[in-house]
């Protein structure tokens, strides 16, 4: 099948134009052509567009082939332009090529014309790709020169062959100083060989290496860099070089370290404040027990003694009412003492204190609240007991106030060196995946504080909940003391 070819021929001789067209057709081309011999005719033909090549006679009555080349430049079209002259002359060829002609032939020797046109057609097809590739290379070069990150290119032997201006600023070494060296110059001396070999191996094997590296600048300044290294592969897939991009994260690491230290300080302060609060609650509870409760009990005894000496029914009635009021005050005081600081938590143990907590919670809220102690008596630090007791108290309050639960169970276990408490309710539940463990607006203990204080003790809080399916909270803390199973002596 013949190859289509559209030719614009600048020629005053119809016979010469036909001769050129016949040669192309004999070579297998399906030629469509237009012959023009004036500047106006050429401009009109260019306006039509679609020409794949222009073949121009050098000397014509109305204008010359070089005039036609100028018109083509003015038009801006990218079309191969081949000049054909009736007389041989190197000066003509040189002048034509200087002006931008793609090739030159004499009319008595058109042997290479087909080959020249085919070559120029190929080049014309490839010129946009070359232009795009050139633009891409220029953009990449601009990025390489202006990027804030250091870019280090090494050959297959690990020798530096690329060192951009950012690398000079970051590490203090000039490009000329680094060419012929390896990046190990900027690594710590004790770790340089290991780092270099690991990076090279991982980058080639996995197609990428990423990590953090401690580096030392020329002036001795130590930095931390976030580094990504990738191999450059040739057309056959073989590695020809590697490119490493170094981002200085020294300030970020310093800030992270400071924030972590501040967070630890705040956690320690919060823990001390919580323990101080609990000790103050215990002091107030002890004072209520030793003074108010004792005085109320003594007043009750005095009323009992007074009752035996009265005979008036009216006086006895008033005395009984006073006695009832004192009984209520004694009961309220005992409840307040228990809520402020349960003596069982300090005198007996965590399990007994949680059982008492659940009983009081059931009485106050009128719901089922069961405590099952499978751990027995746990011998652990007072601070651990306080945190766990406070956490369970907060979870029980949440179940009553927010979850609107009818039933709550508290399970105390001791397994695999950990104290584990599971608080489960049948309340409304919530989307645990979206719930932020942040301090609540009321300033309460909150899930956030529970999690933070458990984390400080090496523990964790796990929340499992779904809307309308209740909530299950699991508290886990390492057992630092010993525990005695229920029933053991």
**Contact at 8 Å (CB) between 149 and 246?**
yes
More reliable by pLDDT, 456 or 136: 456
Residue 162 sits at φ, ψ, to 5 deg, of -145, 130
Tokens of 352: 């007994």
DSSP state of 289: I
Q: What is the arrangement of strands in the sheet containing 407-415, beginning at the earlier edge strand? A: 368-373, 407-415, 418-425, 471-478, 460-465
Q: What are the structural domains, with CATH classification, of the chain?
A: 3-137 (3.40.50.2300), 147-248 (3.30.450.20), 349-489 (3.30.565.10)
**pLDDT exceeds cutoff 50 at 61:** yes
**Contact at 8 Å (CB) between 369 and 356?**
no
Average pLDDT value for residue range 438-450: 58
**Contact at 8 Å (CB) between 103 and 58?**
no
- Can you give the pLDDT at residue 134? 62
- Can you give the pLDDT at residue 132? 67
The secondary element (H helix, E strand) that includes residue 122 is: helix 113-146
**Contact at 8 Å (CB) between 102 and 81?**
yes
CA distance 305 to 299: 10
pLDDT tens sequence across 3-56 = 899 999 999 989 989 988 988 888 888 999 999 999 999 999 999 988 999 999
- Can you give the pLDDT at residue 347? 78
DSSP state of 427: S
**Contact at 8 Å (CB) between 114 and 24?**
yes
Report the candidate in 33, 22, 27, 37 with the shortest Cα–Cα distance to residue 3.
27
Q: Reduced to 3 states, what is the DSSP secondary structure of residue 32?
A: strand
**pLDDT exceeds cutoff 60 at 435:** no
Report the candidate in 55, 66, 73 with the shortest Cα–Cα distance to residue 89.
66
Cross-strand pairs, 314 = none
Among the listed ranges 124-128, 142-146, 158-162, which one has the minimum average pLDDT value?
Answer: 124-128
CA distance 489 to 486: 9
The percent of residues above 90 in pLDDT, for the chain, comes to 25
Identify the residue whose tokens are 């004072």: 287
Pairing, β 3-10 against β 29-36: parallel
pLDDT tens sequence across 296-314 = 777 778 777 777 777 677 7
Residue 384: band (very low, low, confident or very high) from pLDDT cuts 50, 70, 90: confident
Q: Reduced to 3 states, what is the DSSP secondary structure of residue 367?
A: coil
Residue 489: band (very low, low, confident or very high) from pLDDT cuts 50, 70, 90: very low
More reliable by pLDDT, 434 or 195: 195
Q: Other CB atoms closer than 10 Å to residue 271's CB: what's the count? A: 17
**pLDDT exceeds cutoff 50 at 436:** no
**pLDDT exceeds cutoff 90 at 249:** yes
Residue 410: band (very low, low, confident or very high) from pLDDT cuts 50, 70, 90: very high
Tokens of 409: 């169970």
**pLDDT exceeds cutoff 50 at 170:** yes
CA distance 129 to 51: 20
Cross-strand pairs, 473 = 423, 463
**Contact at 8 Å (CB) between 410 and 384?**
no
Report the candidate in 345, 339, 410 with the shortest Cα–Cα distance to residue 378.
345
Could you tell me how many residues make up the chain?
489
- State the chain's mean pLDDT as an integer: 82
Torsion angle, alpha carbons of 256, 257, 262, 268, to 10: 120
Beta strand extents in 385-484 (DSSP E only)? 407-415, 418-425, 460-465, 471-478, 482-484
For residue 199, the number of C-alpha atoms closer than 13 Å in the C-beta half-sphere is: 29
Report the candidate in 179, 178, 151 with the shortest Cα–Cα distance to residue 164.
151
For residue 400, the number of C-alpha atoms closer than 13 Å in the C-beta half-sphere is: 16
**Contact at 8 Å (CB) between 43 and 11?**
no
- Crossing angle for the helix pair 313-340 and 294-307, to the nearest 10 degrees: 160
Report the candidate in 267, 287, 273, 221 with the shortest Cα–Cα distance to residue 248.
221
Residue 373: band (very low, low, confident or very high) from pLDDT cuts 50, 70, 90: very high
**Contact at 8 Å (CB) between 268 and 281?**
no
Average pLDDT value for residue range 146-161: 88
Tokens of 351: 């399990």
**pLDDT exceeds cutoff 50 at 380:** yes
More reliable by pLDDT, 237 or 486: 237
- Can you give the pLDDT at residue 117? 85
Report the candidate in 249, 253, 200, 251 with the shortest Cα–Cα distance to residue 229.
200
């Amino acid at each position: 099948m013949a190859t289509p070819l559209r030719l614009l021929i600048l020629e005053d001789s119809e016979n010469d134009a036909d001769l050129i067209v016949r040669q192309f057709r004999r070579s297998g081309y399906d030629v469509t052509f237009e012959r023009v011999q004036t500047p106006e005719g050429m401009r009109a033909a260019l306006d039509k567009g679609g020409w794949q090549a222009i073949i121009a006679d050098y000397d014509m009555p109305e204008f010359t082939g070089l005039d036609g080349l100028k018109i083509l430049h003015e038009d801006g079209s990218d079309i191969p332009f081949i000049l054909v002259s009736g007389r041989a002359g190197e000066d003509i060829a040189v002048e034509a090529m200087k002006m931008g002609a793609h090739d030159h032939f004499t009319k008595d020797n058109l042997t290479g014309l087909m080959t020249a046109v085919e070559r120029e057609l190929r080049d014309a097809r490839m010129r946009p790709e070359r232009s795009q590739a050139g633009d891409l290379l220029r953009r990449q070069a601009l990025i390489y020169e202006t990027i804030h990150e250091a870019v280090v290119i090494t050959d297959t032997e690990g020798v530096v062959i690329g060192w951009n201006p950012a690398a000079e600023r970051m590490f203090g070494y000039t490009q000329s100083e680094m060419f012929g060296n390896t990046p190990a110059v900027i690594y710590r001396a004790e770790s340089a060989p290991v780092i270099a070999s690991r990076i090279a191996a991982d980058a080639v094997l996995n197609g990428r290496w990423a990590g953090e590296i401690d580096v030392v600048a020329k002036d001795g300044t130590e930095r931390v860099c976030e580094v990504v290294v990738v191999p450059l592969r040739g057309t056959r897939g073989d590695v020809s070089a590697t490119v490493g991009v170094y981002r200085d994260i020294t300030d970020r690491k310093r800030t992270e370290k400071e924030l972590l230290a501040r967070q630890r300080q705040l956690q320690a302060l919060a823990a001390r404040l919580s323990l101080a609060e609990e000790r103050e609650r215990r002091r107030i509870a002890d004072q209520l027990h030793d003074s108010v409760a004792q005085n109320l009990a003594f007043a009750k005894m005095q009323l009992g003694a007074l009752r035996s000496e009265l005979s008036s029914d009216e006086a006895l009635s008033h005395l009984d009412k006073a006695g009832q009021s004192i009984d209520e005050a004694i009961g309220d005081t005992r409840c307040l003492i228990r809520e402020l600081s349960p003596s069982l938590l300090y005198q007996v143990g965590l399990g007994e204190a949680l059982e008492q907590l659940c009983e009081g919670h059931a009485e106050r809220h009128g719901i089922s609240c069961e405590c099952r102690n499978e751990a027995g008596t746990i011998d652990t630090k007072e601070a651990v007991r306080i945190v766990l007791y406070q956490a369970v108290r907060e979870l029980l309050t949440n179940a009553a106030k927010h979850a609107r639960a009818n039933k709550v169970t508290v399970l105390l276990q001791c397994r695999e060196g950990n104290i584990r408490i599971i608080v489960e309710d049948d309340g409304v539940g919530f989307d645990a995946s979206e719930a932020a463990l942040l301090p609540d607006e009321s300033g309460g203990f909150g899930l956030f504080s529970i999690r933070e204080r458990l984390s400080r003790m090496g523990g964790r809080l796990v929340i499992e909940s779904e809307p309308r399916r209740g909530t299950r909270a699991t508290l886990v803390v390492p057992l630092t003391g010993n525990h005695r199973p229920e029933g053991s002596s």
